[in-house]
Structure 1
């Protein structure tokens, strides 16, 4: 068998296993099985009871007729024999007794005049013999009872049903009251057994038909019950997919109809609630966006004044009164914080509104990181481990925002030196930023990317707004990437940025194919969005 055939067989077996599990867990199948089990139990019980009652009735009726006839023959014919009959007399009487209406075999046992035991049977030498009579029956027949009370005679008629070579027989025996031979009778019950077998087959067929009928009834009932359930499941899936206008058609007054009405009321309430929340969320986003835009004009003027004041502080002339110098420095610092907060709020508003767009370009990751560090004068505090030549199709401005937030966060909370390393894995670029600080507390770690979250209990007050890491994560997501944060076993926190390399390799090939590098890059560059101009 080839490897492809083996894989196909494994796939087929796995698929069949999944289908079998789905079938076994089907509500329709379970309903049919339950209906069938109940019907089978009821049919088998009814058939068993009917068979047992009919069997007892048939056997009791046949047995009663045979025993009465045998007892009457024993009294009339065997009772007329002398006390010590000969074998011929016994043989003749046994033949007469066997010719009764019931047609049973007869065996007579007596002692002749010399005291020897003689036998007479209705079938000659190969007929009914004493060995065909069970020992227990012979013992009971020859046992003499005390006469008195309710017992009128010393000997009684005893019977037993036996099976000989697969044929059922009724065997009975008694002694002639007042002295005489002992008589035994054997009657074949094969006709009755055949009748009972026919009855059993009929009851079995009836049970099978009842089971088939129960299965069909269960199928019809399951279809009737499961149609509303199926519609409810479909409606629930649509509701889960966000189609909040989904409603069920309600008919009837049963429990399923009540469930459908409840679903409709729940869907209606959910739709109203979601619409209200969407309206409030939209109003909030519009408010933040409008507020940010409105703040930019006066903030620009304030920033200009703050820059002038900062230049005066740095000037050697000392034109600012030393008494108000701390206040001026505070105004400059808080103005810078306010400016960053407004810019961050505007960026968050674009992400929430879905208007953020990528302006893609083929970027050398090492050059981009170096430019980010150099622009912020972090060269002395950051160790860079990155080889040039690792290209990716990214938005340079958004990558700079991500790097600035991750490296700045590491310098601010972990301290220098901060190590930045770049590698590739699975057609992705992996950028790792590690600090050598105390690390991130375990209770804070799940929330480091939450908006406005600050671990004030574990870290000192910072100048940040609590939006930097959140914005970095959003910029990673819009690239199709991810950022994770963990604590290193050697100490410090490690932030890992993973971004897809995109189609930068295809771009390089296109650039080498006679058209030039520029043409290839232009083919994949996205159109800038006006909202991203800042």
Structure 2
């Protein structure tokens, strides 16, 4: 019943309760009236039969003739109770005679054998039983019609008498009563349905308002409140909802303020770091150029400073890119590109031609942001080279109005417990190695760049071994939610995640495999 609405369930409950009550009351009324009608008719007929049997057989001789028995039976059947009579007794001259008032309807064959046995059974006379014979009765059906059969034996050697009374009139009366009760039950059911509808509207209207308010609250309209009137449970629920909504609104405002402050801090910190980093980078480049002429004892330290400076510079660029995504200021600079050429340029710029196998046909055109596609490819391919195994295979194929790029390595694959987190920020597969060459932002930035294109990146393990990252992008992302700026007017800065900033220099890695 999960799919049935609350209103319908309430109406069904009302209807079932009303139906059960009406049926129970009708059944009780029917059986009480049935018992009263049949008992009244039965007692009247049996009392009249007992008196008539005594009056009409008391004047008969001990050995009457068959006509005398027949005359007595006809007299007994002529009463106002309208029943048929059958007298059976020993007649003058020997033998037994059966005298029915209606030979076509009532004969000894119509009398149940159990009733004949009970009527003819002589009982012991004592203080509790003053008569050896008693009057017995039974209800039977003849030719589909109900009858009352009764019988008694005249004490002192008289004949045995049986009566047969039709109960057809009583059955018709009881059928009429049953129809009346059925109609009353139907009307009660209809009335209960109308009452349930009214009750459901009264009860569910506040619930519907509460549901609508909860929906608006879920859509982010945190100023939603309910009008409260009354002191019942629904009113108390509305008050509780208003308090919860007010508390949630305050909490969200606090969290939003903290988040905004954190974003400003990261953005400001990243911008402030760029100036000293620019100077440090210039110095380290000079030191790197002069590394061969430096003292061998100093050269390793210089090399460490150079590599760590580059790593810090990449981290700052990544942080700035992340703040743009969080702030919603990242924009697309769209251009029509040949995807095969774009992938080849990405691989060649990083000197990966010997380690990457490209399966892409020329002429697959797409309208997208070339720089952001380069960032995505650099991170996916670099991640496969670092954490997977060579050769890395890049396959490009069109699928209707979408572009599918698969990056597969031949490494051990990604552990199942790591798969759900490979795109999380700052996530690294090995907790024992928190410090690595990557910042843990590369794949996260790649995914954000896919999302701003209206695409998606998924990670899985190939049945043949190795990990497979699948990039799915629209062939034309002009309607992407990130918006579009004219070419040459992008305000996003340099590449993120170790884009194409220097041949042979890999992107930021997630350390997922």
Shorter-chain-normalised TM-score: which range?
0.7 to 0.9
Question: Cα distance 1:276–1:84, how it changes in 2: closer, same or farther (>3 A)?
Answer: same
Instruction: State which drifts further: 250-259 or 359-368.
Output: 250-259
SS at match of 1:80: coil
The 5-angstrom pairing of residues 355-366 of structure 1 reads: 355-366=329-340
Corresponding residue for residue 284 of structure 2: 306
Q: Distance in 2 between matches of 1:127 and 1:410?
A: 105
- Tell me how far 1:533 sits from its aligned partner: 4.0
SS of residue in 2 equivalent to 1:265: helix
Deviates more, 1:380-389 or 1:351-360: 380-389
2:339–2:365: 8 Å Cα contact kept in structure 1? yes
The answer to which structure, 1 or 2, has the higher relative contact order (CA under 8 A, 6+ apart) is: 2
Query: 2 CA distance for matches of 1:370 and 1:105?
Result: 115
The alignment of Structure 1 onto Structure 2 pairs a total of residues equal to 489
Q: Post-superposition shift, 1:351?
A: 0.5
8 Å CA contact retained: 2:454, 2:477: no
Structure 1 residue 532 corresponds to structure 2 residue 506: no
Q: Is residue 394 from structure 1 mapped to residue 368 from structure 2 by the alignment?
A: yes
Q: Aligned to 1:328, which of 302, 309, 315?
A: 302
Find the residue that maps to 2:332 and give its secondary structure: coil
For structure 2, the 5+ residue unaligned runs are: 479-483, 495-513
The CA deviation at 1:460 is 9.4
| TM-score of the two chains, using structure 2 as the length reference | 0.88
Alpha-carbon RMSD across the aligned residues, in angstroms, is 2.5
Q: 1:286: how far off?
A: 0.8
3-state SS of 2:80 partner: coil
Does the CA-based 8 Å contact 1:358-1:528 persist in structure 2? no
| 1:279 equivalent in alignment to 2:229 | no
Which of the residues 61, 64, 82 maps onto 1:85?
64
Preserved contact between residue 158 and residue 173 of structure 1 (Cα < 8 Å): yes
**C-alpha distance in 2 between matches for 1:457 and 1:503:** 38
Does residue 134 of structure 1 match 2:112? yes
CA pair 98-530 structure 1, distance change in 2 beyond 3 A = same
What residue in structure 2 maps to residue 117 of structure 1? 96
Note the residue ranges of structure 1 that are not aligned, 5 or more in a row.
Answer: 1-20, 505-523
How high is the TM-score relative to the length of structure 1?
0.85
Q: Could you tell me how far 1:344 is from its partner in structure 2?
A: 0.9
The corresponding residue for 1:426 is 400
1:252 paired residue among 227, 230, 246? 230
Corresponding residue number in structure 2 for 1:487? 461
Q: 3-state DSSP class of the match of 2:491?
A: helix
The CA deviation at 1:458 is 8.3
CA contact under 8 A between 1:441 and 1:458: conserved in structure 2? no
Match of 1:59 in 2: 38
In the TM superposition, residue 484 of structure 1 has moved relative to its aligned partner by 2.4
CA–CA distance in 1 between the matches of 2:108 and 2:193? Answer: 55
The verdict on how the C-alpha distance between 1:445 and 1:66 changes in structure 2, with shifts beyond 3 A counting, is: closer
- Give the match for residue 385 of structure 1: 359
Distance in 1 between residues matched to 2:392 and 2:45, nearest whole Å: 112
Higher helix share: 1
* 1:530 CA displacement: 5.0
Specify the alignment match of 1:15 in structure 2: none
**Counterpart residue number, 1:350:** 324
Please give the alpha-carbon distance, in whole angstroms, between the structure 2 residues aligned to 1:388 and 1:458: 44
